[in-house]
């Protein structure tokens, strides 16, 4: 399949997917290497296609009527990361990102898009398997998350749960 057809196929697969697709799975389907998929995704983005990368894979950014979004400031060590993320998820939230402030580079952001316990489990497994440090390790544990909840009441429940667990930074 030529480059144009492959990119159309990638778009078709992403638009039909209910969950993110990994570069490896796209590569298998298209019979190319993962690096070619990475290049195709970069080109699609350059053309204005809203493809995002998450720890679970690639997905199209779908515009939808959202709930309540709020940026929260947290502080904890790497060992508490899973508990923090699960606190948000189990109380009905979605974790869109993590951001830290760097003295030279300014804000550094990592896309997460975690919506379920399975997402958190896969994220934590990937962090462990790659021996990666959490982004907040460069900022003394201080970081922000953009979280989303379907209602203001659920957002307040999430904030209270994070406060009870000692994750909120004041």
**How do 57-60 and 68-75 pair as beta strands?**
unpaired
Q: What is the largest CA-CA distance in the chain?
A: 55
pLDDT for 91: 96
Beta bridge partners of 58: 21, 53
Contact 31, 2 (CB under 8 A): no
Whether residue 64 is predicted with pLDDT greater than 80 in this model: the reply is: no
pLDDT of residue 82: 97
Q: Is the pLDDT of residue 67 over 90?
A: no
Identify any residues that bridge with 106 across adjacent strands, giving them in sequence order: 102
Angle between helix 3-16 and 34-46 (nearest 10): 80
Burial code (b: 16+ CB inside 10 Å, e: under 16) for 134-162 equals bbbebbebebbbbbbbeeeebbeebbebb
Calpha distance 145→134 (Å, rounded): 13
CA-based radius of gyration for the chain: 17
* Tokens 């898009």 belong to residue: 113
pLDDT tens figures, 1-33? 898 899 999 999 998 888 899 999 999 999 999
Q: What pTM, to 2 d.p., does this model score?
A: 0.70
8 A C-beta contact, residue 56 and residue 119 = yes
> Which domains, and CATH codes, for the chain?
3-60 (1.10.10.10), 68-165 (3.30.1340.20)
Give the per-residue pLDDT at 66. 66
Give the residue-averaged pLDDT of 149-155: 93
Q: How far apart are CA 57 and CA 119, in angstroms?
A: 11
């Amino acid at each position: 399949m030529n480059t144009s057809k492959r990119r159309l196929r990638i778009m078709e697969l992403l638009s039909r997917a209910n969950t993110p697709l990994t570069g490896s799975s796209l590569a298998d389907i298209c019979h190319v290497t993962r690096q070619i998929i990475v290049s195709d995704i970069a080109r699609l983005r350059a053309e204005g296609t809203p493809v995002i990368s998450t720890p679970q894979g690639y997905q199209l950014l779908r515009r939808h009527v959202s709930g309540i979004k709020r940026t929260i400031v947290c502080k904890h060590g790497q060992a508490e990361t899973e508990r923090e993320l699960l606190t948000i998820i189990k109380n009905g939230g979605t974790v869109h990102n993590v951001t830290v402030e760097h003295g030279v580079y300014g804000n550094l952001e990592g896309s997460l898009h975690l919506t379920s316990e399975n997402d958190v489990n896969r994220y934590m497994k990937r962090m462990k398997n790659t021996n990666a440090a959490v982004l907040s390790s460069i900022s003394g544990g201080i970081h922000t998350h953009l979280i989303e909840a379907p209602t203001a009441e659920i957002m307040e429940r999430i904030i209270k749960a994070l406060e009870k667990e000692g994750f909120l930074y004041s």
